Amino acid sequence: MGRKSRIQTEDKKNAEGNRGWKIGIYIRLSKEDAGSGNESESVINQRKINLEFVEEKFRQELYEIVGTYVDDGHSGTTEDERPAFQRLCQDIEMRKINCVVCKTLSRAFRNYADQGKFLEQFLPAWNCRFITVGNPHIDTMEDPEYMQNMEIPINGLMNDRYAAKTSEDVRRTFQIKQSKGEFIGAFAPYGYLKKPENKNALVIDKEAAEVVRRIYELFLEGVSQSGIVRYLNEHGILCPALYKREKQGMKYQNPYFNPAEDPLWSYSTVHNILKNPVYCGDMVQGRSKVKSYKVHIQEPVPKEKWAVVKNTHEAIIQREIFNRVQELLKRDTRTSPRKNSLYLFSGFLRCADCGRAMVRSEVKGNVYYYCSTYKNRSKIACTKHTIRHNNLEEAVLTGINMQIHLRTDPAEIHRRLLKSPERSVKREILKEIIGQNKVEIDRIMGYRREIYQDWKDCTITREDFLQMREIYDGKIKSLEEKIRTCKEEMKKKENLENPADPYLHDLKKYGNIKRISRELLTEFVDFIEVYEKGNICINFRFSEGKELFCKKGAKSSY
């Protein structure tokens, strides 16, 4: 009589001692299976096959199906990222289960190393039986020697390689889609929906888009990001995660955030919305990647390797506004977490000597600004550069109104254009080009008259004459077109208004400003330099680059 396997004996004793088999059925449906629409690999079908097998296999034994463990939409390459598989292992350790049944090895594992650890170490340590229904058919109790067969590790290795190839194919497909500006995310960004007829394209979600616009408006008005968070929560506006689940009925999941535990807007959510280029119509993807098909830890990708495609979908925020917000986000605009709005000049003031930001201070009811180097770091590294808020505001108001006058008054514009050296140089160049082309036309007309005379004198044939005339006529036509283009360019230069200035029409709508707002500052001012004795220099955001307004005597003391 052959010797019984120790594993077989222990498994059977384990089952008898616990009054029968306590079975856990494991089912896994990967994202690839779900996307393929393959009914043969569906959760329902796997459950049916496993249940029928258990009923047939254990019909003469005492058994109980403790539970069915389903990982829907999870990869088989990592055991630690499959919640149902983790629960199965915990129940084995708690002696709730002594037998695991699954359809095939590939349903349980596509990681060769995990398969070996589970079958050769974990299950034997807990005296747990393992059965696969399909090929290769495994039963660690009935045929433990088969576990030493080369077919098992070879099958595991093939599953592992298949997973690696599938992962690489999926990665390449995603990269191609990203390079074309096609959206590949599981969920559309807040403010957008996936097109019903094309899941790789975005359309505006009107309700959420209004919230996005309001966030940008509040920020430009000077409301701090913390203040925006409070505004959204106090007005009962659903945070993006809850909105997707409750309003849109999506099975939204975020590994970093559980809306059930924290259903409110947060600083990071508002900050990410303010920084996301998707809202000005650009698709930016590939900012992170997994380490490998086995290690699903996300790691950042260098910015130069991101997949950026501009103007792929309808924008919620105008590009000019988005760019202005990005400039403001770079500024030092820290404020108290309890304060809802930023101070008027937050992020705009810098010391003219050391270049560092100015800091705000209140003394005897008056607000002053000081060089941060002098106040916080060293009184010998820089000087005070003190300026009183009221004097600064008055000087900036004067400077902005002066710029509006200089740029919108027709007489002033005409005077500036005439004085512009750049304009004069361009005009002279155009006149010179026109003159050269006219001389060339006269020369060719002379050649044309000569060939006509040659034909009349029978020096050349009629065919030669017609061919040469066609060539000369073509050259004359080309030169006349160049002259016409140059004249049109000169006419444009005579225009009193400079069409290249994107701020001109915005300036006109303001007229004479009575009071400065933060929105006005963000629209027209780049930064303000503060010198000693209360002198300031305003750097405006105009097409020529840095256009300065300097004001002396805005000094204040106490």
| DSSP-assigned letters across all residues of 140-162 | TTT-GGGGGSTHHHHHHHHHHHH
Q: Any bridge partners for residue 426, and if so which?
A: none
Residues 99, 148, single domain; the answer is yes
Residue with tokens 């209140």: 362
Residues 66, 12, single domain; the answer is yes
The domain tally of the chain equals 4
Residue with tokens 């995990």: 114
Q: Closest by alpha carbon to 261, among 239, 244, 229, 232?
A: 239
Which domain range does residue 17 map to?
6-162
What pTM, to 2 d.p., does this model score? 0.55
Per residue in 522-531, pLDDT (tens digit) is 778 888 999 8
* Residue percentage of the chain with pLDDT more than 70: 74
558 inside domain: no
Choose the final residue of a domain: 113, 147, 162: 162
CATH code of 46's domain: 3.40.50.1390
DSSP letter assigned to residue 345: T
Q: What pLDDT, on a 0 to 100 scale, did the predictor assign at position 344? A: 85
What does the radius of gyration of the chain's CA atoms come to, in whole angstroms? 38
Residues 303, 394, single domain; the answer is no
171 inside domain: no
Residues 511, 444, single domain; the answer is no
Give residue 143's pLDDT band: very low, low, confident or very high (50, 70, 90): confident
Residues 21, 58, single domain; the answer is yes
Model confidence at 456: pLDDT above 90: no
Per residue in 530-549, pLDDT (tens digit) is 988 888 888 887 645 444 55
| CB 541, CB 430: distance < 8 Å | no
Q: What is the mean pLDDT of residues 453-457?
A: 84
The rounded distance, in Å, linking the Cα atoms of 50 and 131 is 10
Residues 367, 392, single domain; the answer is yes
178 inside domain: no
Residues 314, 381, single domain; the answer is no
Residues 450, 521, single domain; the answer is no
Residues 156, 245, single domain; the answer is no
Q: How far is residue 23 from each of residues 66, 84, 530, measured CA to CA in Å?
A: 6, 15, 77
Give residue 8's pLDDT band: very low, low, confident or very high (50, 70, 90): very low
Residues 227, 108, single domain; the answer is no
Give residue 278's pLDDT band: very low, low, confident or very high (50, 70, 90): very high
Q: What pLDDT, on a 0 to 100 scale, did the predictor assign at position 412? A: 56
Residues 280, 384, single domain; the answer is no
Q: Which of 20-29, 283-292, 480-489 has the lowest mean pLDDT?
A: 283-292
Q: How many residues does the chain have?
A: 558
Could you list the beta-strand ranges (E) of 293-365. Answer: 298-300, 307-309, 349-351, 358-363
437 inside domain: yes
| Burial class, 6, CB count within 10 angstroms (exposed 0-12 / middle 13-18 / buried 19+) | exposed
Q: How far is residue 509 from each of residues 324, 504, 513, 519, measured CA to CA in Å?
A: 19, 9, 10, 14
CATH code of 196's domain: 3.90.1750.20
Choose the final residue of a domain: 302, 330, 358: 330
125 inside domain: yes
CB atoms under 10 Å from CB of 97, counted, come to 25
Per residue in 321-367, pLDDT (tens digit) is 999 899 888 875 655 555 566 788 888 898 988 988 888 888 888 89
The rounded distance, in Å, linking the Cα atoms of 522 and 503 is 12
416 inside domain: no
Q: What is the mean pLDDT of residues 277-295?
A: 81
Q: Give 274 or 290, the one with higher predicted confidence.
A: 274
184 inside domain: no
Number of H helices, E strands in the chain: 20, 18
367 inside domain: yes
Residues 22, 152, single domain; the answer is yes
Could you list the beta-strand ranges (E) of 286-438. Answer: 288-290, 298-300, 307-309, 349-351, 358-363, 366-371, 387-388
Give residue 156's pLDDT band: very low, low, confident or very high (50, 70, 90): low
The most confident of the ranges 32-36, 75-79, 308-312, 452-456 is 308-312
